[in-house]
Amino acid sequence: MPASSDTPSSRRERPAKPALTRAGLVAAAVAVMETEGLHKVTMRRIAQELDTGPASLYVYVRNAAELHAAVLDELLGRVEPPSEDGTWRERLEKVLTSYAHLLLDRPALARSALVARPSGPHYLDLIEILLALLAEGGVPDGQAAWGVDVLLQHATATAAEHAGRTPGARDREDWHTLETALRDADPGTRPRTAALSGPLLAGPPDARLSWAIQALINGILHTPTP
């Protein structure tokens, strides 16, 4: 620990540049993500945060994508573990909802989770938890294995999808465009869309997520693998 030779708060109160480690790098990246969003988690920005040049980071991380993946896994550590009481279905829904909300609050991370192939320890923990709950519900092994993928994929995609809907977001317009396109569908050429524009757009995200999770569970439970 070389953080020794400093007189009490010398130059500008900076806490004596700690040695660079992978953990420190990831921690800095998480901090920047929480305060400024994932789009600021760039090699250059994090390097600056750590008082070095971008080239230095490549000692600990293969590329920028790997850094984003590490940030994601860090966050996955905050998924709430299954509660003690309730049916397996309720507990399963709770875990997935907790996961979804984590991402719902971090739009850009949700989008990156969809595109990255997570493989960190916290992601593996999450898979184990979901498999255990499905086993508890008596879901056959093969269906459980394939089902976990579908469940996580849906929760992630939903978070990424609704991420743009928040007040201050850049891409609110995209939503508005789709909304009006559906609402203004011509009953002549697109009758079903016109008739269902209400339900297509209706429902708070939470209600839709909850319904989708239950529908997914029902499907997984009742559809044998080949």
Residues near DNA (CB under 7 A): 19-20, 40, 42-45, 52-56, 58-60, 63-65
Longest CA–CA separation in the chain, Å: 79
The amino acid present at 55, given as its one-letter code, is A
**Partner in contact with 95, chosen from DNA, a copy of itself, none, beta carbon below 5 to 8 Å by kind:** none
181's tokens? 């396109």
**Partner in contact with 182, chosen from a copy of itself, DNA, none, beta carbon below 5 to 8 Å by kind:** a copy of itself
Alpha-carbon separation of residue 115 from 92, 146, 167, 197 (angstroms): 24, 19, 24, 29
CB neighbour list of residue 218: distance below 8 Å, 6 or more residues apart: none
CB neighbour list of residue 82: distance below 8 Å, 6 or more residues apart: 91, 92, 94, 95, 129, 133
Nearer to DNA, 63 or 166 (CB): 63
Q: Is 220 in the site for a copy of itself (CB under 8 A)?
A: yes
- Of 9-17, 20-28, 71-79, 147-155, which part binds a copy of itself (CB under 8 A)? 147-155
Interacting residue with a copy of itself among 5, 12, 117, 188 (CB under 8 A): 117
Q: Is 82 in the site for a copy of itself (CB under 8 A)?
A: no
Cβ neighbour number for residue 183 with a 10 Å cutoff: 13
CB of 63 to DNA, least distance (A): 3
CB of 55 to a copy of itself, least distance (A): 21
Q: Is 151 in the site for a copy of itself (CB under 8 A)?
A: no
Nearer to a copy of itself, 43 or 47 (CB): 43
Give the CA count within 13 Å in the CB-facing half-sphere of 78. 10
Q: Is 182 in the site for a copy of itself (CB under 8 A)?
A: yes
Of the candidates 64, 66, 65, the residue with the CA atom closest to the CA atom of residue 47: 64
Nearer to DNA, 27 or 182 (CB): 27
Q: Is 90 in the site for a copy of itself (CB under 8 A)?
A: no
Which own/partner contact pairs does 20-28 have at CB distance under 8 Å and 24+ positions apart?
A: 20/50, 20/52, 20/56, 20/59, 20/60, 21/60, 22/60, 22/61, 24/50, 25/50, 25/57, 25/60, 25/61, 25/67, 26/67, 26/70, 26/71, 26/74
Nearer to DNA, 55 or 119 (CB): 55
List interacting residues with a copy of itself (CB under 8 A): 65, 111, 114-119, 124-125, 127-128, 131-132, 135, 141-150, 153-154, 156-158, 160-161, 164, 171, 174-175, 177-178, 181-182, 185, 190-193, 195-196, 198-200, 202-203, 207-208, 210-212, 214-220, 222-223, 225-226
